[in-house]
Amino acid sequence: MPLLEVQGLSVAFQHEEVLREVDLNLEAGETVALIGESGGGKSVLIETLLHLLPPRSQVKGRAFFRGEDLLALSSHAHRALLGQHIAWIPQATTEALHPMLLVGFQLAEPLLLRGVPRREAYARLAKLFAALDLPLETLHRYPHQLSGGMRQRALVAGALLTGAGLVLADEPTKGIDALRKRQVVTLFQKAQELNPEMALLLVTHDLPLAQALADRVAVLFAGRVVEVSRAQSFFQAPAHPYAKALLEALPERGLKPLQLGLGREVEKGCPFAPSCPENFSPCREREPPLLPLPQGSVRCWRYGDPSL
């Protein structure tokens, strides 16, 4: 059984659909990179799992974590999972930390609540800080006294401190310089060596980061998963024409917006067809399902028989 199993997840805000029937699995110990353009719904996917969507959003589908549907859990039961079994590295570092609490205290808190002695919690945190080149006195600073990159690294340390089996990381290297990015990569690798069961869902625009860490890559386009492939074959030869365009748009540094008009709905057929260099008539007629490939799956008629 996968550790996390997202099935048919659709999310809409005031009738604007952001995710459509997303299926995504994550095995224990696995790292899956979730990539796609800005506004594609990557953060919304994570926020759905974390019960962080605004009250009136419409959510359909299921998301099993160790067999329990996260979307159906009471907020009490859900909160009990967070901090202990599921850790989150949020995209917006300014809002992620409480402005009135010392950095060390708030990152150590989940451990303190679990009864880990204060000294031990701080010692473990200090080790992680050192590995990320964060000065130890940062533990005793308020969030606003840290730079954006420092806050980001502190959040990475905080997530790994919890020992959670599932880490949801939303752009964990945003605003971090190249040298320290290397340290983040090493720290994630070390964390998985120490805890081989730790699964990482890595949302990123940073393809070299995805390449360094991911076992598989999932690509979101117009709210759909259009490809899931083993990382090695993905970076050699992505299958979906949108994924090809993404990799070509990347001048080694990260994803460049393709400005394909995300979320733009087509009346019928594949939502990528109007921008697709490889489209043929079935693409404009019927939206393809996720079709199996040796290295994963792809939502493209080039890989299946549209007449079936």
Task: Say whether residue 54 binds ligand ATP (CB under 6 A).
Answer: yes
Contact (Cβ atoms closer than 8 angstroms) between residue 33 and residue 204: yes
State how far the Cα of 36 lies from the Cα of 18, in Å rounded to an integer: 13
Judged by CB under 6 A, the number of residues near ligand ATP is 12
Residue 91 or 279: the one with the smaller Cβ distance to ligand ATP is 91
**Contacting range for ligand ATP; rule: CB under 6 A; set: 36-44, 137-145, 176-184, 273-281:** 36-44
Q: At a CB cut-off of 8 Å and minimum separation 6, what does 253 contact?
A: none
If one asks whether residue 152 binds Ni ion (CB under 5 A), the answer comes out as no
Residue 42 binds ligand ATP, judged by CB under 6 A: yes
* CB closer to Ni ion out of 90 and 110: 90
Q: Which helix (H) or strand (E) holds 66?
A: none
Residue 250 CA to residue 255 CA, distance in Å, equals 5
Nearer to ligand ATP, 54 or 99 (CB): 54
Q: Least Å distance between CB 269 and ligand ATP?
A: 22
241 neighbors 276 (Cβ within 8 angstroms): yes
Task: By CB under 6 A, name the one of 13, 60, 145, 280 that touches ligand ATP.
Answer: 13
Q: How far is the CB of 228 from ligand ATP (least distance, A)?
A: 16
Biggest CA–CA distance in the chain, Å, is: 66
41 vs 104, beta carbon nearer Ni ion: 41
* Residues in Cβ contact with 201 at an 8 Å cutoff, skipping those fewer than 6 apart: 4, 26, 31, 32, 34, 46, 166, 167, 168, 169
- Residues of this chain that interact with ligand ATP (CB under 6 A) are 13, 18, 36, 38-44, 54, 91
